[in-house]
């Protein structure tokens, strides 16, 4: 379902409200929180393992997950091991967390005025969040394609695949827009 995205959206809105109420810098507060989002999601996905839910199709891969017969879909009662899609998503989110931490570290280093030689390299407000949303959307896109649990469909496609496509398109468009807004390289003024 839309549980994680809805919870994340509500958490972000409440967080922004608190930041505004405390008169904090919204951009810096968001940048500080963004890397924790995929980490929290990765931890949350462990609940799917304990509940034996949200797994993928049958597999004979060595890391296939054994699902109790009581939790298997009726059409797969004779199959024992399934893709652990929640594990795939947890690993994806941990990798995304690492990427965000690296990008944030690079951003902080580049924000030091003596190191900035190209103004286009300085991070823009929301760029780290856009990278997170893009990465989350890409991960959910392929994971949703492997899952077999019942889901709402639009035009025969899982709603979370549509949601992922919207997240990918929106965040990619925002990153392109930020890049185009960045000032161009400064040309040296030559003496005449």
CA–CA distances in Å: residue 6 to residues 2, 19, 61, 130: 6, 20, 33, 17
| The predicted structure's pLDDT at residue 172 | 93
| The predicted structure's pLDDT at residue 25 | 77
| The predicted structure's pLDDT at residue 76 | 92
pLDDT digit string (tens) for 22-40?
887 777 777 788 888 999 8
Task: Report residue 78 as tokens.
Answer: 């004779």
| The predicted structure's pLDDT at residue 23 | 82
Please compute Rg for the chain using Cα positions.
21
As a whole number of angstroms, the distance between CA 132 and CA 40 comes to 13
| The predicted structure's pLDDT at residue 65 | 92
Q: How is the chain split into domains, by residue range? A: 26-48+84-181
| The predicted structure's pLDDT at residue 5 | 65
Ranges under pLDDT 70 in the chain: 1-8, 107-125, 182-192
pLDDT digit string (tens) for 168-192?
999 999 988 887 776 655 444 455 4
| The predicted structure's pLDDT at residue 27 | 73
Q: Is 127 exposed, middle or buried (0-12, 13-18, 19+ CB in 10 A)?
A: buried
Q: What is the pTM of this model?
A: 0.77
| The predicted structure's pLDDT at residue 131 | 92
CA–CA distances in Å: residue 146 to residues 18, 51, 113, 142: 38, 18, 46, 7
């Amino acid at each position: 379902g839309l549980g994680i995205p809805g919870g994340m959206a509500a958490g972000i809105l409440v967080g922004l409200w608190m930041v505004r109420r405390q008169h904090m810098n919204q951009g810096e507060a968001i940048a500080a929180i963004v890397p924790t989002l995929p980490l929290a999601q990765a931890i949350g996905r462990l609940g799917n393992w304990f509940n034996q839910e949200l797994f993928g199709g049958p597999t004979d891969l060595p890391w296939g997950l054994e699902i109790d017969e009581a939790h298997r879909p009726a059409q797969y009662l004779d199959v024992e091991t399934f893709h652990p899609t929640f594990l795939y998503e947890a690993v994806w989110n941990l990798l995304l967390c690492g990427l965000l931490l690296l990008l944030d570290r690079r951003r902080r280093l580049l924000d030091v005025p003596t190191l900035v030689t190209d103004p286009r390299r300085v991070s823009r407000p929301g760029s780290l969040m856009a990278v997170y949303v893009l990465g989350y959307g890409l991960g959910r896109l392929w994971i949703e394609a492997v899952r077999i649990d019942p889901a709402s469909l639009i035009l025969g496609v899982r709603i979370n695949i549509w949601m992922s496509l919207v997240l990918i398109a929106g965040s990619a468009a925002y990153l392109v827009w930020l890049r185009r807004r960045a000032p161009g390289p400064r040309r040296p003024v030559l003496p005449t």
